[in-house]
Structure 1
């Protein structure tokens, strides 16, 4: 007989994912042991809820280690809240209001041009760098050869003298 996979309701999924969120911050492995839900299933639920705008930390349970997407989501979710609501949000998610302020300031201070270069740009720069390094190597060899010829010609002149002395 083939076993059917269990079907979990949306309330159950949300309840489980909330255990991964602050202030509980339970690990996926721990929740899997407690509930019997497979680890890959828990990761897919976590990803699903993150894509829906929930602040579910990617890896670390410490807010300062959250990835930039989670930090930005927290800033956006608290932007329209008053001070009391914002404080409540922070308590629920294991944050301090100062952390939100610092994250917001960091995002605002980013230069639009400070985005990482595309892979094509990086590849082009690497190619140019390699080309320039080859050119420097070629010129170094030519310079060394010219210096060797100059030294040899001076030694030859010292031994046999110049043609003008004849």
Structure 2
């Protein structure tokens, strides 16, 4: 799992002086493996972790960041695209792959929404059927109750005579 530079920095801040908290305690608190924290300490001491260049790696970008880069690159002409990509440490293949990933995400979401809509429509039809059945049963019960009252009223009149 790749952690952002900010997360690594905040964890190192807790375990290194001046706080100097116990690694096991910080590990339990954050859910990050204690060995991972120890590796970060070694990297920080050797200077590998200090610059934060890991965050600029294309594989750690969020879908939103990828989308923004794809849109930004689409507005740039071919001559300036190379410079744009070099500044960000990217290749044209990244843009192509991300564009396809984003399209797939949209299609998948669209398909999922269509499926949910179909399920909801089916449930609405079932509920409407059930409601109609219950309304008919209620109307029938009301009619029987009215007939029972009429019968009761008629039998009382006959007894009085």
Same fold (TM over 0.5): no
TM-score where L is the length of structure 2: 0.34
What's the TM-score, normalizing by structure 1? 0.33
Relative to its length, the structure with more helix (as a share) is: 2
